[in-house]
């Protein structure tokens, strides 16, 4: 069932409720006049632990890519010891296909600030840093404007309505990144926040125990925190009435896909943009109803479900349901950021794979050898295949390299290489005939180790 009323887009005109042309910055006054900061007021009337329990009960899953339950993450914090504890807000939105957090920051930043304040109250965090990617110049300015308003109205700062936390008045700052995709990885983000190169850390210790400045730290995506205010305001039962429950026959320990979600859609569609819908919306519905169909009436060929690191959906997966269970059902990495990229019948999938491999080769931080070398290797092989100089050996090699790098095979610290290998592997596997037709049909006698994920 389509989402009846917008939640995150309540103040951001979005089809079908409004026209994007009418979008404008929503300041503190307009935000509060339209029900804003009510969730915060309710939260402040509750014990911190009760707020965490409510978010847990709502089963809010992280909206930044991994889909980890936010309430559970919050409950991992150790007991207070009177020393400082931090919130790092991940606004490093750099995953190709993803442009949803930007929408919230541009037009309704107080929704984020409300979630930040609630999280700081619930988790007893005294300082929040919004880590925003360096390229978001305008968005950093908008955030600072909204934060200034929030200080004026005692959300943060001296005399804050949150009261003192860990002996300090709660503060919130914008921290600008400087052009590195890896800083969206939560521990890479923390390293960068500390003024170092954004090299992901080996876990454990997890950030909840030893994060920023070796102190307990919560890291949440912008959209996740923006969802917290409405949940506090309207309750867990309301939130769970939206979206999609657990698949049939799955035990309650498996997280479900409750709530609305921002879907970014781009590529070969008539009306690209960010849309808010219930989790579980079909890709075909998103393309036809929201994005007004395929560009130039062409046929659907493939789509990235949620940022390029999630892999690809093929022509027979046009009706795939975009929820947190998509990875299991459609052999991709997951829903990711729900930044959908649509490709039409004329799209060269070899070029797509090459583009994606280049991205990861470019953005690998260089810390782990399998990723540093592997991503570059895949890019070179795909460039060769695209130029017509490839053989079947090259395709075997692609599958072999992609199967052996990443946190899941256990050869890298973070998941960047997993994103790279899922993307390349699913494209090569799902479009094998297209790749096969592009290379010379010769294979050496070498035995390929491409066993993981190879379906040909």
Partner 1 sequence: MAWIAKNSAGATIVRRSEPYLTPALKAKLEADVLPRYPTKRAALLPVLHAVQHEHHWLPAQALEEIAAFLDLAPAQVLDTASFYEEFWLNPKGKYLIMVCQSLSCELMGQKGLLGKISRKLGIAPGQTTPDGKYTLMTAECLGSCGSAPCALVNEVLHENIRADNFERVLDTLE
- Check binding of 8 to partner 1 (CB under 8 A): no
Residue 444, burial from CB neighbour count under 10 angstroms (0-12, 13-18, 19+): exposed
CB of 268 to partner 1, least distance (A): 6
First to last CA, the chain: 37
**Which of 33, 47, 50, 178 contacts partner 1 by CB under 8 A?**
178
- Check binding of 226 to partner 1 (CB under 8 A): no
**Which of 372, 386, 408, 409 contacts partner 1 by CB under 8 A?**
372
CB of 364 to partner 1, least distance (A): 7
CB of 454 to partner 1, least distance (A): 24
Q: Quick one: how far is CA 23 from the chain centroid? A: 23
- Tokens standing for residue 136: 């978001």
Q: Which helix (H) or strand (E) holds 143?
A: helix 137-152
DSSP label at 171?
E
User: Which stretch in 27-35, 48-56, 249-257, 365-373 sits in contact with partner 1 by CB under 8 A?
Assistant: 365-373
CB closer to partner 1, 45 vs 366: 366
Q: How far apart are CA 240 and CA 260, in angstroms?
A: 10
- Check binding of 75 to partner 1 (CB under 8 A): no
CB of 1 to partner 1, least distance (A): 25
User: Which stretch in 25-33, 96-104, 148-156, 221-229 sits in contact with partner 1 by CB under 8 A?
Assistant: 96-104
Helix (H, G, I), strand (E, B) or coil at 379: helix
**Which of 194, 250, 329, 455 contacts partner 1 by CB under 8 A?**
194
CB closer to partner 1, 367 vs 402: 367
CB closer to partner 1, 52 vs 308: 308
CB closer to partner 1, 31 vs 99: 99
| Strand arrangement of the beta sheet that strand 217-221 belongs to | 171-176, 127-132, 86-91, 217-221
- Check binding of 184 to partner 1 (CB under 8 A): no
Q: Per this entry, what is the length of the chain?
A: 456
- Check binding of 98 to partner 1 (CB under 8 A): yes
Give the closest residue to 233 by CA, choosing from 45, 426, 26, 12. 45
**Whether 115 contacts 160, CB under 8 Å:** no
Q: Quick one: how far is CA 291 from the chain centroid? A: 20
CB closer to partner 1, 273 vs 390: 273
CB of 66 to partner 1, least distance (A): 19
Look at phi and psi of residue 249 and say left if phi exceeds 0, alpha if psi is from -120 to 50, else beta. Answer: left
- Check binding of 37 to partner 1 (CB under 8 A): no
Q: How far apart are CA 258 and CA 58, in angstroms?
A: 8
- Check binding of 81 to partner 1 (CB under 8 A): no
- Tokens standing for residue 435: 């790749």
Q: Which helix (H) or strand (E) holds 263?
A: strand 260-267
Binding residues for partner 1, rule CB under 8 A, total 61
List residues near partner 1 by CB under 8 A.
84, 93-99, 102, 133-138, 171, 173, 175-182, 192-198, 213, 264-268, 272-274, 304, 308, 339, 341, 343, 347, 351-352, 355-356, 358-359, 361-367, 372
């Amino acid at each position: 069932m389509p989402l009846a009323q917008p939640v995150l887009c309540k103040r951001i005109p979005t089809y079908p409720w409004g026209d994007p042309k009418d979008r404008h910055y929503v300041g503190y006054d307009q935000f509060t006049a339209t029900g804003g900061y009510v969730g915060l007021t309710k939260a402040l009337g509750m014990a911190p632990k009760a707020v965490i329990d409510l978010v847990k009960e709502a089963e809010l899953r992280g909206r930044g890519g991994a889909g980890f339950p936010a309430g559970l993450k919050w409950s991992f914090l150790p007991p207070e010891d009177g020393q400082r504890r931090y919130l790092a807000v991940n606004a490093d939105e750099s995953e190709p296909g993803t442009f949803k957090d930007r929408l919230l920051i541009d037009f309704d930043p107080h929704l984020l600030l409300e979630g930040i304040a609630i999280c700081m109250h619930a988790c007893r965090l005294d300082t929040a840093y919004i880590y925003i990617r360096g390229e978001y110049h305008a968005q950093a300015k908008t955030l600072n404007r909204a934060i200034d308003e929030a200080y004026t109205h005692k959300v943060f700062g001296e005399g804050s309505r949150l009261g003192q936390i860990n002996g300090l008045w709660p503060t919130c700052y914008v921290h600008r990144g400087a052009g590195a995709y890896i800083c969206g990885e939560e521990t890479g983000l923390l390293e960068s926040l500390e003024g170092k190169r954004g090299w992901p850390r080996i876990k454990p210790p997890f950030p909840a125990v030893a994060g920023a400045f070796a102190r307990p730290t919560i890291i949440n995506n912008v959209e996740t925190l923006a969802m917290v205010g409405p949940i506090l305001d309207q309750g867990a039962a309301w939130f769970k009435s939206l979206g999609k429950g657990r698949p049939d026959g799955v035990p309650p320990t498996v997280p479900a896909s409750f709530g609305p979600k921002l879907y970014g859609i781009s590529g070969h569609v008539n009306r690209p943009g960010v849309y808010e819908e219930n989790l579980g919306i079909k890709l075909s519905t998103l393309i036809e109803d929201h994005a007004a169909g395929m560009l130039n009436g062409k046929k659907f060929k493939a789509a990235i479900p949620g940022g390029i690191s999630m892999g690809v959906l093929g022509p027979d997966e046009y009706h795939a349901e975009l929820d947190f269970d998509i990875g299991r059902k459609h052999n991709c990495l997951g829903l990711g950021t729900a930044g959908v990229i649509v490709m039409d019948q004329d799209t060269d999938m070899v070029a797509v794979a090459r583009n994606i491999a280049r991205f990861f080769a470019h953005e690998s931080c260089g810390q782990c050898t399998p990723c540093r070398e592997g991503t570059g290797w895949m890019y070179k092989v795909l460039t060769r295949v695209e130029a017509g100089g490839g053989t079947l050996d090259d395709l075997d090699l692609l599958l072999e390299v992609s199967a052996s790098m990443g946190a899941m095979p256990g050869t890298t610290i973070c998941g960047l290489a997993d994103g790279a290998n899922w993307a390349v592997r699913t494209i090569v596997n799902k479009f094998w005939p297209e790749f096969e037709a592009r290379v010379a049909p010769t294979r050496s006698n070498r035995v390929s180790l491409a066993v993981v994920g190879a379906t040909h």
